[in-house]
Amino acid sequence: MFRLLLLLSLILLTGCETIRYRMVPPSSEIGRLCITQCAGIRETCIGREQQQANHEQRQCERRENHEYDHCMSRAGGDRDKHKKCERKRDYCGSYAHTQRCEVDYRGCYADCGGMVIQEVEQW
């Protein structure tokens, strides 16, 4: 019991935090052009991740529809079995994993001479 209270206390003390990044562009024109290229690479990366998420979503939906149709065909006219088929349906959700794109962008930004300042806000 004591350990549980200690663990809960530690969790409450650490709280939550938000990490933000402040970007300071380089002073040179070449550095700013470099950052423009970084932004293009980031957008391409994000687009690729979104396409992948959409593809996974469509695959999941096709698989679920196929399984549902198969279940319903086996159920015949039995309403109870129809209800079981409905309950077996899973939610298909997909998420574009763009975090790597942002990490790469910050690295590219710094490589171009810009400054990336991490600001941690605890609440």
The answer to the question of residue 3 being in a domain is no
DSSP state of 112: T
Say whether pTM exceeds 0.85: no
The answer to the question of residue 88 being in a domain is yes
The answer to the question of residue 11 being in a domain is no
The residue range of the domain holding 29 is 16-122
Q: In this predicted model, what pLDDT tens digit does every residue of 7-51 receive, in sequence order?
A: 555 555 556 889 999 999 999 999 999 999 999 999 999 999 999
The answer to the question of residue 10 being in a domain is no
Measured distance between the N- and C-terminal CA atoms of the chain, rounded to whole angstroms: 27
The answer to the question of residue 2 being in a domain is no
The answer to the question of residue 6 being in a domain is no
**How far apart are the C-alpha atoms of 116 and 32, rounded to whole Å?**
14
The answer to the question of residue 60 being in a domain is yes
Total tally of structural domains belonging to the chain: 1
